[in-house]
Amino acid sequence: MADTYTVSRTLVVDAPPERVHAQLADFHRWAAWSPWEDVDPALERSYEGAGSGVGAVYRWSGNRRAGRGRMEITESRPPALVRVDLTFEKPFKAHNDTWFEVVPEGAGSRVTWTMTGRLTVVTRLMGLFSSMDKFLGPDFEKGLQRLKTVSESAAA
């Protein structure tokens, strides 16, 4: 069995790469499209560091489903890439590398969201019932669809 997992999803967005990248590189904008923002209506959020791009930090703490963790943008190459260092503290500890690639496609953008991580005891146990791809993939699809809606409706 592999020691790591990778989850990746892609969606075409009818918005230019610069507009999509702006949504990804600013954690303040994630509430409008992240698939996990609505799992806890009382979710506590805090922002540190840069306002957007490299050095921007987002922390969250919520109910059992939302958990607690931290994200930091470690690389931002407008309009093509945003890389995020993701650490989960609760409900279990995990460290993941997450990135968004934005590639021009016609008048729009092809956005690919990828996350890799090491399989822990908890994720291995989860894997007995479902793969990480099946577990997280639908959330990525939901988030990309929301990102599409937000990016397509955002003012040029």
> What value does the mean pLDDT take over residues 16-37?
96
Range of the domain at 14: 4-153
* Cα separation, 50 vs 44, whole angstroms: 19
Is the pTM of the predicted complex or chain greater than 0.85? yes
Per-residue model confidence as pLDDT tens digits over 46-69: 999 999 999 999 999 999 989 999
Q: What is the mean pLDDT of the chain?
A: 91
Distances (CA, A) of 31 to 55, 80, 116, 126, 145: 19, 21, 22, 27, 14
Report the number of distinct structural domains present in the chain: 1
Quick one: tokens of 153?
């409706």
**What's the CATH number where 82 sits?**
3.30.530.20
